[in-house]
Amino acid sequence: MRRFVIGDIHGCSKALRTILETIAPTPEDQLIFLGDYIDRGPDSRGVIDLMLSAAKSTRTIALRGNHEVMLLAILLGGCDPKIWLQSGGAATTASYGGSIDRIPVKHRDFFQSLRSQYETEREIFVHAGYQHDIVSDRFEDDDRYWKHMLQPPPPHCSGKRVFVGHTPQPNGCVRDLGHVVYVDTYCFGGGYLTAMNIDTGDIIQATRQGHLRRDIASRASGWVSRTLDRLFGPAGRAGHPLMPNKPPADRSSAVAADHGNVP
Model confidence over 22-75: pLDDT tens digits?
Answer: 999 999 999 999 999 999 999 999 999 999 999 999 999 999 999 999 999 999
Helices 13-23 and 44-57, packing angle to 10 deg: 20
Question: Going by CATH, does the domain composed of 3-259 fall within 3.60.21.10?
Answer: yes
Contact of 199 with 249, CB cutoff 8 Å: no
d(CA 167, CA 171): 12
Comparing 191 with 247, which gets the higher pLDDT? 191
Residue 222 — pLDDT band, cuts 50, 70, 90?
low
Give yes or no for residue 235 having a pLDDT over 60: no
Comparing 167 with 255, which gets the higher pLDDT? 167
- pLDDT tens digits for range 105-158: 999 999 999 999 999 999 999 999 999 999 999 999 999 999 999 999 999 999
d(CA 14, CA 18): 6
pLDDT of residue 248: 36
Give yes or no for residue 259 having a pLDDT over 60: no
pLDDT of residue 174: 98
Burial class (CB in 10 A: 0-12, 13-18, 19+), 73: middle
| Mean pLDDT in residue range 187-202 | 97
Distances (CA, A) of 17 to 21, 24, 37, 94: 6, 10, 13, 20
Give the CA-trace dihedral at 5, 71, 150, 126, to 10 degrees. -40
| Mean pLDDT in residue range 239-249 | 38
pTM here?
0.84
Residue 232 — pLDDT band, cuts 50, 70, 90?
low
Comparing 219 with 87, which gets the higher pLDDT? 87
Contact of 188 with 10, CB cutoff 8 Å: yes
pLDDT of residue 227: 58
